[in-house]
C-alpha cells in the first residue's frame, strides 16, 4: 500500500505541473487545437480548447498552408477531464508521454493503425476508459501506460507486441480479460499489480522476463502456467494472489524469488522442478493452506521462506546445505527428513516448530549441535548414520531421553547403545527396512551412463518408492530410474531414498580422451615457433617439417609419438 501511495502521489504531481516541450516556443491554433510546426514540415498537436468529442484532422491548415499531423506531444491533453472521445488520424505515428494523463471523462479513443509504441503514462488515470482497440503495429506498451485505468474491463494485445512496461496496468482493478500474444518477451515490474478481477492469464513461451510484483494482489487469479522460457522468478511476482490455487512451474527454473508466492492463501501444493536449488526470503510466507511441496533437491532455504504455513506438516530436505534458522517459523511440522549431511550452514531452529515429533537423521551426519531439539518432544528418531553422530545431553529434550524410540541401521544397535548420550535413549532398534544398492565399484565415463539398482530389504509393508538423488550434480546426474550420467571427472555421491531411509553409492566419473585429442606426456623445451618431425615408438619417422603452431592430430592413429625439433623434444599421446 505504501508503494501504491508513492506512485499515486507522483502522478498527482504530474497533473499539477506543466510538462515542458519544445512546442511552447511557437503554437498555432487551428479548429480548436494548438499545433507546433516540426522541422520536417509536418505538425504536432500541442493542446486543445475543445471538450466532448474530438476528431483530430489528418491535415492542419496553418496560415493557408497544409501540414500533415504526425504526432501528439507529451502532456498535450493532460487533465482535460471534459473530453469524452478522441479520434486520431492514421498519419499520427507518435504519441508523447502522459499525453492523455488524467482525462477522467475519456471513454473511447481511436488509435492510428501505424502506432508502434504507447509511451510512458499515455493513458494514466483515464478512469473512464472501458476498452481500447490497440493497433496491429503496436510492439511496446510503455511504463504506466494505463496506470490506474480503473474502468478498463478488457484488452486484446496485438500480435506484434513484445514488451509491457513497469506499472503498465497498475491498479486496473476491473480488468477481467486480457489476451496476450505469442510474441510477448517481457513483462515489467508491477505491470498488473492490483488487477483484482483477472482470473487467469496466458503466458506464452516467448517470455523471458517477468518483473518484480508483476501480478501482485491479483486476488481473482486462480491458476497460472509459467512457461519454460523463465529460469528465475523475481520478487513478489504473485504475492497477495489470495485465490491462486494452481501453479505450474517451468522445467528450467532455478530459484523461487523473494516473496514470490507470499500470502497465496489458497495454494495447497507446489511441485518444484528438479532444477530449483534456492528458495528466497518469504517466498511462501502465509501460504496458510500449503500442505505439500517437494524440497528434497533444494540446497538453500532463506529467512522466513515458509513462515505461517500452518498446514505444512511434513518436510523432506535431503540435499539442503544452507537453511536459515527462521525458515519454518509458525509451521505445524510434525515430521522432518533432515539433510544427508549436517553442514555448518544448516541453521534451522527446531524450537520454532514445537509440534515436531519425528525426524530422519542424514547418513553422513557427524554431529548435531547442542539444544537443537531441546524444545521438541521427539518420540521417533530414525538415524541413517552407521556411526553415531556426536550429540550432547541438551541436543534432545528430556522427553526424548525418557520415552523416545531410536531406529538405527542394521548391525548398528550396539554401536549406539555404547555411544555417549545416545545410550540415554531407552529403546534402540534396527530400522524396519534398509535400502540395498546392489552395484559395486561403479564408474562411468564422461557423457556416458550407467544404471544403478536398489531394493528394499526386507520387503516392508506397503511398497516403498525409491527416489534417486545426486549430491554432486556437477560431476554426475541421476534420473528417477537410477540412470547415472557422467558430467565431469571426479567422484559423486548418489543417494537412493525411500520414505526417509537412505543408502548411498560413490560413483567415479572417468575422463576419456576425445578421439584426435593431444595429451602432453613429457616436454623438453620445445619452442612454440619451431617446426618438428614426428616419430612413433618404433623410431619410424611418420611426418616431417610440421609447424608447431598449426599442428593437429588429424591423420595420426591413436598412440604415443615423439616430436623432435632443433630445440628439444615432446612426447604426446593421441
The angle formed by the CA atoms of residues 114, 110 and 99, to the nearest 5 degrees, is 85
What is the dihedral sign for C-alpha 209, 259, 203, 98? negative
**Does one domain contain both 267 and 128?**
no
Q: What is the pLDDT of residue 12?
A: 46
Dist CA 471 CA 383 (whole Å): 19
C-alpha cell at 113: 493503425
CATH number (domain holding residue 459): 2.60.40.1080
23 domain residue, yes or no = yes
Q: How many domains does the chain have?
A: 4
Q: What is the pLDDT of residue 17?
A: 45
**Does one domain contain both 134 and 235?**
no
Q: Indicate the burial class of 107 (C-beta count within 10 angstroms; 0-12, 13-18, 19 or more).
A: middle
Q: What is the pLDDT of residue 16?
A: 45
Q: What is the pLDDT of residue 257?
A: 96
423 domain residue, yes or no = no
**Does one domain contain both 165 and 305?**
no
Dist CA 478 CA 495 (whole Å): 9
Q: What's the distance, Cα to Cα, between the start and end of the chain in Å? A: 68
**Does one domain contain both 129 and 231?**
no
**Does one domain contain both 58 and 169?**
yes
Dist CA 84 CA 93 (whole Å): 22
367 domain residue, yes or no = no
**Does one domain contain both 447 and 552?**
no
* Phi, psi for 400 (deg, rounded to 5): -65, -45
DSSP 373: B
Under-50 pLDDT residues of the chain? 1-2, 4-6, 8-9, 12-13, 15-24, 515, 526-527
Dist CA 150 CA 530 (whole Å): 77
**Does one domain contain both 44 and 146?**
yes
Dist CA 300 CA 306 (whole Å): 13
Radius of gyration of the chain from its Cα atoms, rounded to whole angstroms: 34
Question: In Å, how far from its chain's centre is CA 228?
Answer: 10
**Does one domain contain both 203 and 234?**
no
310 domain residue, yes or no = yes
Dist CA 344 CA 360 (whole Å): 18
What is the dihedral sign for C-alpha 151, 154, 159, 165? positive
Q: What is the pLDDT of residue 9?
A: 47
Strands 59-62 and 65-72: antiparallel
Question: In Å, how far from its chain's centre is CA 189?
Answer: 15
412 domain residue, yes or no = no
CATH number (domain holding residue 25): 3.80.10.10
Q: What is the pLDDT of residue 157?
A: 95
- Do 193 and 213 meet the contact criterion of CB atoms below 8 Å apart? yes
Among 477, 420, 426, 428, smallest CA distance to 448 is for: 477
69 domain residue, yes or no = yes
Chosen domain end from 196, 215, 234: 215
Coil/strand/helix, residue 389: coil
Chosen domain end from 468, 491, 510: 510
DSSP for 396-419 reads B-HHHHHH-EEEE-TT-HHHHHTS
**Does one domain contain both 232 and 211?**
no
473 domain residue, yes or no = yes
- Enumerate the β-bridge partners of residue 380: 358, 405
- Do 387 and 410 meet the contact criterion of CB atoms below 8 Å apart? no
CA distances (Å), origin 76, targets 94, 95, 147, 153? 12, 9, 17, 25
Dist CA 217 CA 197 (whole Å): 10
Can you tell me which residue has the cell 504507447?
118
Domain that holds residue 490: 434-510
163 domain residue, yes or no = yes
User: Over the range 525-537, which residues count as b (16 or more CB within 10 Å of their CB) and which as e?
Assistant: ebeeebbbebbee
**Does one domain contain both 527 and 562?**
yes
Among 225, 250, 332, smallest CA distance to 287 is for: 332
CA distances (Å), origin 326, targets 307, 334, 391? 8, 16, 22
Q: What is the pLDDT of residue 566?
A: 78
- Do 526 and 532 meet the contact criterion of CB atoms below 8 Å apart? yes
- How many residues are there in the chain? 574
**Does one domain contain both 119 and 268?**
no
Coil/strand/helix, residue 374: coil
Dist CA 35 CA 515 (whole Å): 74
**Does one domain contain both 173 and 242?**
no
Chosen domain end from 197, 215, 233: 215
Query: How do residues 372-425 score in pLDDT, each as one tens digit?
Result: 999 999 999 999 999 999 999 999 999 999 999 999 999 999 999 999 999 999
* Phi, psi for 308 (deg, rounded to 5): 80, 15
Amino acid at each position: 500500500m505504501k508503494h501504491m501511495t508513492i506512485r499515486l502521489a507522483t502522478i498527482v504531481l504530474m497533473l499539477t505541473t506543466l510538462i515542458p516541450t519544445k512546442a511552447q516556443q511557437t503554437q498555432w491554433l487551428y479548429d480548436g487545437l494548438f499545433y507546433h510546426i516540426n522541422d520536417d514540415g509536418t505538425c504536432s498537436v500541442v493542446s486543445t480548447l475543445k471538450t466532448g468529442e474530438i476528431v483530430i484532422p489528418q491535415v492542419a491548415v496553418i496560415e493557408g498552408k497544409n501540414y500533415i499531423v504526425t504526432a501528439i506531444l507529451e502532456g498535450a491533453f493532460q487533465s482535460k477531464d471534459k473530453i469524452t472521445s478522441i479520434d486520431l488520424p492514421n498519419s499520427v505515428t507518435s504519441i508523447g508521454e502522459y499525453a492523455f494523463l488524467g482525462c477522467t471523462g475519456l471513454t473511447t479513443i481511436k488509435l492510428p493503425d501505424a502506432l508502434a509504441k504507447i509511451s510512458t503514462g499515455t493513458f494514466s488515470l483515464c478512469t473512464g476508459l472501458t476498452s481500447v482497440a490497440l493497433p496491429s503495429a503496436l510492439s511496446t506498451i510503455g511504463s504506466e501506460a494505463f496506470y490506474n485505468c480503473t474502468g478498463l474491463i478488457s484488452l486484446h494485445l496485438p500480435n506484434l507486441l513484445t514488451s509491457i512496461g513497469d506499472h503498465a496496468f497498475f491498479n486496473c482493478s476491473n480488468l477481467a480479460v486480457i489476451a496476450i500474444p505469442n510474441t510477448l518477451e517481457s513483462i515489467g515490474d508491477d505491470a498488473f499489480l492490483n488487477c483484482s478481477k483477472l482470473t487467469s492469464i496466458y503466458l506464452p513461451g516467448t517470455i523471458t522476463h517477468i518483473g518484480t510484483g508483476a501480478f501482485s494482489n491479483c486476488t481473482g487469479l486462480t491458476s497460472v502456467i509459467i512457461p519454460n522460457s523463465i529460469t528465475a522468478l523475481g520478487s513478489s511476482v504473485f504475492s497477495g494472489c489470495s485465490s491462486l490455487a494452481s501453479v505450474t512451474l517451468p522445467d528450467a527454473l532455478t530459484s523461487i524469488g523473494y516473496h514470490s508466492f507470499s500470502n497465496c492463501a489458497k495454494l495447497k501444493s507446489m511441485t518444484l522442478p528438479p532444477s530449483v536449488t534456492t528458495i528466497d526470503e518469504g517466498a511462501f510466507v502465509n501460504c496458510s493452506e500449503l500442505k505439500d511441496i517437494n524440497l528434497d533437491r533444494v540446497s538453500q532455504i532463506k529467512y522466513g521462506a515458509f513462515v505461517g504455513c500452518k498446514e505444512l506438516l511434513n518436510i523432506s530436505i535431503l540435499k539442503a546445505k544452507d537453511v536459515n534458522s527462521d525458515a519454518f517459523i509458525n509451521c505445524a511440522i510434525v515430521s522432518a527428513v533432515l539433510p544427508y549431511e549436517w553442514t555448518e550452514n544448516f541453521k534451522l531452529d527446531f524450537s520454532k516448530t514445537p509440534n515436531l515429533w519425528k525426524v530422519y537423521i542424514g547418513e553422513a551426519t557427524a554431529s548435531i549441535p547442542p539444544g537443537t531439539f531441546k524444545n521438541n518432544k521427539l518420540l521417533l528418531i530414525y538415524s541413517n548414520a552407521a556411526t553415531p553422530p556426536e550429540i550432547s545431553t541438551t541436543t534432545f529434550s528430556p522427553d526424548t531421553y525418557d520415552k523416545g524410540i531410536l531406529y538405527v541401521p542394521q548391525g548398528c544397535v550396539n554401536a549406539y547403545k555404547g555411544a555417549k548420550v545416545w545410550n540415554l535413549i531407552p529403546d534402540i532398534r534396527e530400522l524396519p527396512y534398509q535400502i540395498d544398492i546392489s552395484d559395486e565399484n561403479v564408474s562411468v565415463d564422461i557423457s556416458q551412463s550407467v544404471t544403478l539398482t536398489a531394493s528394499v530389504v526386507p520387503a516392508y509393508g506397503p511398497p516403498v518408492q525409491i527416489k534417486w538423488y545426486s549430491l554432486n550434480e556437477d560431476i554426475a546426474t541421476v534420473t528417477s530410474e537410477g540412470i547415472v550420467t557422467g558430467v565431469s571427472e571426479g567422484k559423486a555421491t548418489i543417494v537412493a531414498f525411500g520414505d526417509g531411509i537412505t543408502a548411498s553409492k560413490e560413483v567415479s566419473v572417468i575422463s576419456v580422451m576425445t578421439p584426435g585429442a593431444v595429451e602432453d606426456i613429457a616436454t623438453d623445451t620445445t619452442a612454440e615457433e619451431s617446426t618438428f618431425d614426428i616419430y612413433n615408438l618404433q623410431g619410424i619417422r611418420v611426418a616431417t617439417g610440421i609447424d608447431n603452431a598449426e599442428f593437429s592430430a588429424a591423420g595420426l592413429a591413436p598412440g604415443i609419438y615423439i616430436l623432435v625439433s632443433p630445440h628439444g623434444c615432446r612426447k604426446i599421446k593421441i
